[in-house]
């Protein structure tokens, strides 16, 4: 069998792409980035999806700077492209010569996005070395419900610096939001509580249950148009170990309880 010059060129291009040294490892869905892994690929409207991964095999320029472009695509029913975003060229300094970049793509899930199964695909392009690599995950978007969303662990009270490992002596901040709540008819105001439970690696509860109460008697706290309520907990860290942080909300206006969100917390001694 003979191939036309065009077919040969296409074959060579395919081989070149597949021989690219650029490689994606440890692709996973996480709560924030960096942040703990999601145990489930199910999300609610109003949540956010982080696809985190490690990129290796990239090349650097004369100043030891890698340059990477990320393209994020979301495919819905029958493979239809629902969303696409390109990051543009982002420089990254491989200062410690570790040969890996920890990257992520973040997608906000709209309140009116139809339920169903979606495929999230991220393609990384090495601008210097011309390599290409991609990864993808399926996400199941559930029907709208009373739920805890946008959960994450942070090293600062502004909830901007995410982290996977914390040290004794510092606090960890748990950020979250609640959607799908109802309002009491007499006040047009939500009435709920949000509980946080800390468990050790054997599943035993090691703390009391702090909670945040949003009371219908305080109508100035939540405007009538608000559909998403944000909150946070602060956890002082004084013990080494691996813990689970469980966040659960109860809508007291209709006696409904959300599915718990569980975050993995690792505490070390930095001495």
Tell me: the pLDDT tens digits for 18-66? 456 999 999 999 999 889 999 999 999 999 999 999 999 999 988 889 9
Q: How far apart are CA 73 and CA 70, in angstroms?
A: 10
Question: pLDDT band at 98, cuts 50/70/90?
Answer: confident
The sheet with strand 42-43 has its strands ordered as 42-43, 132-141, 116-126, 65-75, 81-93
> What is the residue-averaged pLDDT of the chain?
88
Domains and CATH numbers, the chain: 21-141 (2.60.40.3880), 147-268 (2.60.40.2550)
**pLDDT for res 202:** 93
- Report which of 93, 21, 94, 18 is spatially closest to residue 57, judged by C-alpha positions: 21
Q: How far apart are CA 107 and CA 242, in angstroms?
A: 28
The mean pLDDT value for 95-119 works out to: 91
Tell me: the pLDDT tens digits for 204-226? 998 877 777 777 667 677 888 88
DSSP H helical segments within 31-115, as ranges?
Answer: none
Q: Which residue has the tokens 């689970």?
A: 244
- Report which of 230, 261, 236, 233 is spatially closest to residue 247, judged by C-alpha positions: 261
The mean pLDDT value for 79-91 works out to: 92
For 161-195, b where at least 16 C-beta lie within 10 A, e where not — what string? ebbbebeeeeebbbbbbbbbbebeeeeebbbbbbb
**pLDDT for res 219:** 65
pTM of whole model > 0.85?
yes
Is residue 93 within 8 Å of 24, Cβ to Cβ?
no
Tell me: the pLDDT tens digits for 175-206? 999 999 999 888 888 999 999 999 999 999 98
């Amino acid at each position: 069998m003979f191939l036309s010059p065009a077919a040969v060129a296409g074959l060579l291009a395919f081989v070149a792409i597949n021989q690219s040294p650029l490689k994606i490892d440890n692709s996973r869905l996480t709560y924030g980035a960096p942040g703990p892994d999601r145990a489930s690929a199910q999300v609610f409207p109003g949540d956010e999806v982080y696809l985190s991964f490690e990129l290796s095999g990239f090349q650097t320029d004369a100043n030891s700077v890698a340059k990477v472009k990320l393209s994020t695509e979301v495919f819905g029913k029958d493979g239809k492209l629902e969303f696409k975003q390109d990051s543009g060229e982002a420089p990254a300094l491989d200062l410690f010569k570790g040969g890996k970049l920890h990257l992520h793509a973040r997608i906000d899930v709209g309140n009116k996005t139809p339920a169903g199964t979606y495929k999230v695909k991220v393609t990384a392009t090495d601008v210097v070395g011309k390599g290409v690599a991609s990864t993808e995950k399926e996400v199941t978007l559930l029907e709208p419900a009373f739920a805890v969303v946008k959960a994450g662990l942070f090293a600062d009270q502004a909830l901007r610096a995410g982290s996977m490992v914390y040290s004794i002596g510092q606090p960890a901040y748990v950020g979250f939001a609640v959607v799908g709540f109802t309002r009491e008819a007499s006040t047009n105001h939500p009435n709920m509580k949000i509980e946080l439970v800390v468990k050790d690696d054997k599943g035993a509860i090691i703390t009391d249950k702090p909670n945040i109460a949003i009371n219908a008697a305080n109508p100035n706290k939540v405007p009538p148009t608000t559909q998403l309520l944000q909150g946070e907990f602060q956890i002082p860290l004084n013990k080494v170990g691996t813990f689970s942080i469980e966040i659960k909300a109860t809508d007291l206006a209709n006696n409904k309880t959300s599915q718990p969100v569980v975050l993995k917390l690792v505490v070390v001694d930095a001495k």
